[in-house]
Amino acid sequence: MDFFDYLNKHGVIYSARDGMLYIYESLDLVGASVSELCDYLTVMGDFYWPDESVYKMPKKLIVYGDLYICNNAITTLPDDLMVGGDLDLGETAISQLPNNLIVGGDLGLGYTQITRLPNNLSVGGDLDLSHTSVTELPDDLFVGGAIDR
């Protein structure tokens, strides 16, 4: 299904300006079978995206709430990813996080293929490294909560 068709069918409030699509609420794509997202996307609420049919992240993605991508087939994250709440990447094929990633809440990396953490990673809440191959923590890592290994 086309992304805009999905938004319109489900009455999602959005606008497009300055090349960016703004979603003014939480967005739940569970079972939506959306084939492709737009390249420049801002979600003002939570974004639930555990759908294996989309393999490519938008070029720029900002989520003010939580971002749940668990059990998704995507393999990379955009360089400019910003998440205000929790970011759950559990059981994805992601093997590398972008430098300068900022997550306001918890960061869940359990059961991912990540082997090292990026430079300047900032996590406001807990960092879940369980069932990963991460053995060293970078010197410039900031974690506001606990680190679960």
pLDDT in tens, 18-27: 999 999 999 9
Q: What is the pLDDT of residue 57?
A: 84
Q: What is the pLDDT of residues 66-107, one digit of tens each?
A: 999 887 778 889 887 899 999 999 888 889 999 889 999 999
pLDDT at 70: 82
Mean of pLDDT over the chain:
92
Residues 62/82, Cβ–Cβ less than 8 Å:
yes
Domain boundaries, the chain: 1-144
Q: Note the pLDDT tens digit of each residue in 123-132.
A: 999 999 999 9
Task: Find out whether 108 and 90 touch, Cβ atoms under 8 Å.
Answer: yes
Q: Which residue has the higher pLDDT, 145 or 1?
A: 145
Per the rule left: phi > 0, alpha: psi between -120 and 50, beta: everything else, 73 is: alpha
Q: Which residues pair with 21 in a beta bridge?
A: 16, 41
Q: Which of 122, 118, 50, 56 is nearest to 89 (CA)?
A: 50
* Whether pLDDT at 114 is above 90: yes
d(CA 23, CA 12): 7
- What pLDDT, on a 0 to 100 scale, did the predictor assign at position 51? 65
